[in-house]
Homo-oligomer: A and B are copies of this chain.
Amino acid sequence: MEALRDRPRTDRHRTDRTGAATLPSDGRAHNLSLVRQTLHSAGPMSRAELSRTLGLTRVTVSDLVSDLLERGHVVELGQSDEVRPGKPAILVDINRQGLQVIGMDLAENSVLRAAVLDLDGNILERVERTIASETGRDVVNQVLGLASEAVARATATLLGIGVGTPGIVNADGVVTTAPNFEWKDVALRDLLQENTGLPTLVSNDADAAVHADHTFGGGSDDMVLVKIGRGVGSGLIVGGRRARGAHSAAGEIGHVTVGTDGGTMCKCGKTGCLETWMSVPSLERALAEAAASSEPESAADVVLREAGERLAIALAPVVGALDLAEVVLSGPRELLEGPLLDAVQQTLLERLLHQDPSPVSVRLAADAQDIVLRGAAVMVLWNQLGVA
């Protein structure tokens, strides 16, 4: 009788639904996610404990768990060795050994990266492809090949593929524009899905990164992550959900004008864009100039502090308007740590209504190299398991 439960729903005339009416099975799916989520974040526990945590009866939880056992999402770990009266509990946990995820990071300079990750976001295997000056369809082919390679490296059931890519990505996983690759309306999600047969999710790289930090890092439900690389991008979590934007372009802050006192010319045609102050190439150029000056050390310090100030000037209205609790920077640690980070923090406080304790904390992202890979994995976990 349990076996009947997995059969696909009768899709009927239910194709042209506009409103999202709730069926009993939707509630069931939600409760299954809650079980997975609880186990994923709180670790192994008994059915009875799950029942108390979720507010569902033991009977219902038992049924949910047996369903998840069949699907391979959770496993029994044997009796708890806790000593107390009563029948000993059987611990169940999310199937940490038997499930894996592919994460991909297409936003690095001249290299496409992929990895096999476990459910806790640990990287188990890495695969890479260097790309020289390929663009367009050539890059797509490299991505598809790399994905297949990564899939072959998995040692357990794969839940799906997550991708963080430069450019603007719509809700259907279509990369509408990615100047670096000269992509225009590339249906990356569908291509990967057809190629690998696995559920796939595609987001902007900074959006993936903020998912990673939101899940494994601080975990505030109102935060921004600014990713500093070739350009400057960001991902925002507002009220616990990622902001997508009206045109799927939320987080695109690289070409917002900062301040009211000019600045250098940007390749986009405007002056004073955030990217002209903050991108890695811009910073390195400015630091090289500073190194040639009479007082190289203090000159470098000024460069970094000014960059931090500029970022804070752009962020202050965002932090204020959204009442964000955290500002996280992700990028080359040697550039961001120290004067730049300090300047961001200080300038941000100066420009916001002063309060004690400070309503916003500023820090670096842990593990910046792999943050996109892990964020991409989080996207899959969230989508497939409702976990994170």
Spell out A's residues near B (CB within 8 Å): 13-14, 16-24, 26-28, 30-31, 34, 37-38, 52-56, 220-222, 224, 234, 236, 238-239, 241, 243-261, 268-270, 313-318, 320-325, 350-354, 359
User: Closest CB of chain B to A230's CB: distance in Å?
Assistant: 16
Copies in the complex: 2
- Do A238 and B247 touch across chains, with their CB atoms under 8 A apart? no
Overall SS of chain A's interface: loop
Residues in B neighbouring A236, C-beta threshold 8 A: 321-322
- Do A21 and B26 touch across chains, with their CB atoms under 8 A apart? no
Indicate which residue in B17, B261, B270, B317 contacts A317 across the interface (CB closer than 8 Å): B317
- Do B21 and A54 touch across chains, with their CB atoms under 8 A apart? yes
Q: How long is the Cα–Cα vector from A13 to B56 in the complex, in angstroms?
A: 9
* Max chain B C-beta neighbours (<10 A), residue from A38, A239, A320: A320
New A-B pairs, 4, CB < 8 Å, besides A239-B244, A245-B324, A256-B320 = A16-B55, A239-B241, A248-B323, A268-B353
Residues in B neighbouring A261, C-beta threshold 8 A: 260-261
Residues in B neighbouring A234, C-beta threshold 8 A: 321
Q: How long is the Cα–Cα vector from A216 to B324 in the complex, in angstroms?
A: 28
Q: How long is the Cα–Cα vector from A37 to B22 in the complex, in angstroms?
A: 14
- Do B21 and A24 touch across chains, with their CB atoms under 8 A apart? no
- Do B359 and A247 touch across chains, with their CB atoms under 8 A apart? yes
- Do B317 and A256 touch across chains, with their CB atoms under 8 A apart? yes
Residues in B neighbouring A30, C-beta threshold 8 A: 21-22
- Do A260 and B259 touch across chains, with their CB atoms under 8 A apart? yes
Q: How long is the Cα–Cα vector from A246 to B359 in the complex, in angstroms?
A: 8
Query: Closest B-chain residue to A266, C-beta based?
Result: B353
- Do A320 and B31 touch across chains, with their CB atoms under 8 A apart? no
Query: Closest B-chain residue to A238, C-beta based?
Result: B238
Query: Closest B-chain residue to A235, C-beta based?
Result: B321
User: Closest CB of chain B to A100's CB: distance in Å?
Assistant: 26
Q: How long is the Cα–Cα vector from A26 to B239 in the complex, in angstroms?
A: 22
19 A-B pairs (CB sep. < 8 Å): A17-B55, A21-B54, A21-B55, A22-B26, A22-B28, A222-B250, A236-B322, A241-B241, A245-B323, A246-B359, A247-B323, A252-B321, A252-B323, A256-B351, A258-B317, A261-B261, A270-B351, A270-B354, A316-B317
Residues in B neighbouring A351, C-beta threshold 8 A: 256-257, 270
Known: A239-B244, A352-B256, A354-B269. A250 touches B321 (CB 8 A): yes
Q: How long is the Cα–Cα vector from A359 to B246 in the complex, in angstroms?
A: 8
